[in-house]
């Protein structure tokens, strides 16, 4: 079921979303300061490609000061806007019964898009 969900996800906008994440990741990695943020958007891009069957878990050593500081900077730079776009798409997709599984994936993407540092995608 997750394979079919991932194929439908790719056909109905998942591929475009993942490409946007990959382009943003490459642009962020052009500067030395943007490399950690580029790695996080790369993580979001991989999750946007295959969201069904993947889990987002907290890293055991994620409670550090650097991770918290990077999450705060990320929220102000772009995390809030990416997260809000996923929440809006999730709300729109919950209107239809067929869109509910895709809405759940958008809500999962919204949580990791808001604070990606200290999270791991499996």
Distance from C-alpha of 100 to C-alpha of 80, rounded to nearest angstrom: 23
Whether 28 contacts 38, CB under 8 Å: yes
Reported as a pLDDT band with limits 50, 70 and 90, residue 18 is confident
Reported as a pLDDT band with limits 50, 70 and 90, residue 30 is very high
Q: In terms of residue numbers, what domain contains 116?
A: 2-121
pLDDT of residue 1: 67
What global pTM score does this model have?
0.84
Domain tally, the chain: 1
pLDDT of residue 97: 86
């Amino acid at each position: 079921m997750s394979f079919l969900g991932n194929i439908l996800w790719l056909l109905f906008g998942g591929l475009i979303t993942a490409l946007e994440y990959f382009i943003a990741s490459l642009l962020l990695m052009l500067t030395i300061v943007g490399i950690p943020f580029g790695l996080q958007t790369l993580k979001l891009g991989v999750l946007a490609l295959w969201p069904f069957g993947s889990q987002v878990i907290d890293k055991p050593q994620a409670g550090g000061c650097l991770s918290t500081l990077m999450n705060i900077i990320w929220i102000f730079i772009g995390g809030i806007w990416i997260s809000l776009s996923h929440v809006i798409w999730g709300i729109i997709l919950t209107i239809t019964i067929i869109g509910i599984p895709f809405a759940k994936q958008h809500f999962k993407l919204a949580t990791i898009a808001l604070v990606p540092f200290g999270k791991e995608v499996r």
